[in-house]
Amino acid sequence: MKRKLIILISLLSIVLTSCASKAQPSISGALDDNYRNYYEVFVYSFYDSDGDGIGDIKGVEQKLDYIAELGCNGIWLMPICPSPTYHKYDVTDYKAIDPQYGTMEDFESLIESAHSKHINIIIDMIINHTSSNNPWFVKATDYLKGLSVGDEPNPADCPYVNYYHFSKDKINNTWYPIEGTEYYYEGSFWSEMPDLNLADEELKAEIKDIMSFWMDKGVDGFRMDAPLHYEETDTRFNAAVLNELYGYCKDIDPDVYMVSEVWASEQTIEDYYTSLTPSMFDFDFAQGEGDIIMTAWGRESASSFVNKMIDNNVARSANNPDCINAPFITNHDMPRVYNAYNGKQDKMKIAAMLLLSMPGSPFIYYGEEIGMMSYGPKDENKRLAMYWSDKAQSGMCMGPADADKDINQKCKPVDKQLKDKDSLYYIYKTGLQLRNNNPEIARGNDEILYESSSGNTVITARTWEDKTVFVIYNTSDETVKVPKSVISEYLSSKGLTKDVTVTGTMSVSGDGVKIRKEEIIIPADSVAYLK
Ligand code: CA
């Protein structure tokens, strides 16, 4: 009964918000800007349209409604270009679709369908390195092999020799010999991933041409792979590369989005915001030891979580006033969230609530919304087939060939969770839709109004333009009562006399926040919004 009431209130607020909103609301009520709810898709393992067991572009298109109904209005497609590996993070042709995934026509159709559903698509841009099979690298090494002893390479004869790092010295153990020459090349990730030389203007012109090609196809932005490694430890250089490429893309489309994988501590991430590109993934808050999981476990207080979130935002905004945080819990390089909690559904729900409460654009790794697990350190096991059903059915993928066999997911599959309002899936759906219908959740700045002595209950006023939403955190396992004056005093200090109502609650119990005459009653393990 209580839950029905909460749903009714949420629905009412959806209707009211979509009617009141002036800036072109999408079907789900979200504004059409770069604050979005992103869904990270590993195409190989997501949905298979033609029965070969390998996920494909058409499969993603067929599942757009699933993604939209969850509440995501952005998709990050992991690499789709031709590549010799299953993960495709080593590209051989930057302007094509890997035949395993389909055709360029499939991709164009995906973009068109996604846009018709108000979903933006960003693609992985892997320019730290290429595949060793990339024609650029093949031509460069062939040229070096053809040099006579004593001849120095001349880029006028072969521009590709400047695309990579070549040296007659083996600089360290990530430099590999080129057979038949006296040269070595840098491959900081792997011998088959030669590092590109992003100081070369011809290479950068080629990369710009590639980005322009994909923007012509309709992509809405890029997820930049590994900028930390463009030139190892050279933040200034790397940030300048990001800035240059972003500026180039913005000239083509002022609304283009860019999010970068700077897998580093907060201080380094803040430094990268000097690139003036919109987003960096929020690594400190992610992963097993990150703030989201630590807070959901109760090992870090809600107060510490919120204060750190605010402090980070202030520091980053000083470097880029237009920064958009990109929080996430896990991605394709990390053990899944299930592993951190050993399947404790309640803890996973709290982690989801915390993620979805954060300003910025949250990224959800496919299958996270149902609590899929990974297994051990093997990358392949972090990228298993999407668990649509526990019965064999069309569209299910086989997953990476080198993943360990006979891994059984312990969560309920998608088809079961869709029918279960107590599922993790419904926490994600509720949290994402609240973000879509209340733009200040993603776009606002927080002011803390209340912190309990335990630190487990926090109330902030989050304000964007002239709109304020009150965000209520309770990570304690007890119902908590907070004087309503906490909010009414804030409102009267702003000259407002209105009464707040509950916009929506995410909670482990399913109970909603209640407002009494003098008190706000907050259920255990919940995040709620009042307006
Ligand atoms: Ca397929």
At residue 363, does pLDDT exceed 50?
Answer: yes
Distance 398 CA to ligand 1 centre (A): 10
Q: What is the mean pLDDT of the segment spanning 395-416?
A: 95
Q: In the chain, what are the domains?
A: 20-128+220-437 (3.20.20.80), 135-186 (no CATH)
Distance 86 CA to ligand 1 centre (A): 13
pLDDT band at 28 (very low <50, low <70, confident <90, very high): low
Q: Is 197 exposed, middle or buried (0-12, 13-18, 19+ CB in 10 A)?
A: middle
C-alpha angle 19-22-26 in degrees, rounded to nearest 5 = 70
Please tell me which residue in 261, 291, 300, 451 is annotated as part of the active site: 261
Q: What is the mean pLDDT of the segment spanning 176-205?
A: 97
Distance 95 CA to ligand 1 centre (A): 20
Long-range contacts of 458-466 (CB under 8 A, 24+ apart): 458/302, 458/303, 458/306, 459/486, 459/487, 459/520, 460/306, 460/310, 461/487, 461/490, 462/359, 464/439, 464/440, 465/440
Give per-residue pLDDT as tens, 246-262.
999 999 999 999 999 99
Distance CA 355, CA 506 (A): 12
At residue 18, does pLDDT exceed 50?
Answer: no
Q: What is the mean pLDDT of the segment spanning 335-361?
A: 96
Active site annotation includes 33: no
Q: What is the mean pLDDT of the segment spanning 35-43?
A: 98
- Number of other residues whose CB lies within 10 A of the CB of residue 494: 10
The predicted pLDDT at position 13 comes to: 45
Active site annotation includes 406: no
User: What are the φ/ψ torsions at residue 196 (nearest 5 degrees)?
Assistant: -80, 155
Percent of the chain with pLDDT over 90: 92
At residue 454, does pLDDT exceed 60?
Answer: yes
Please tell me which residue in 195, 225, 282, 446 is annotated as part of the active site: 225
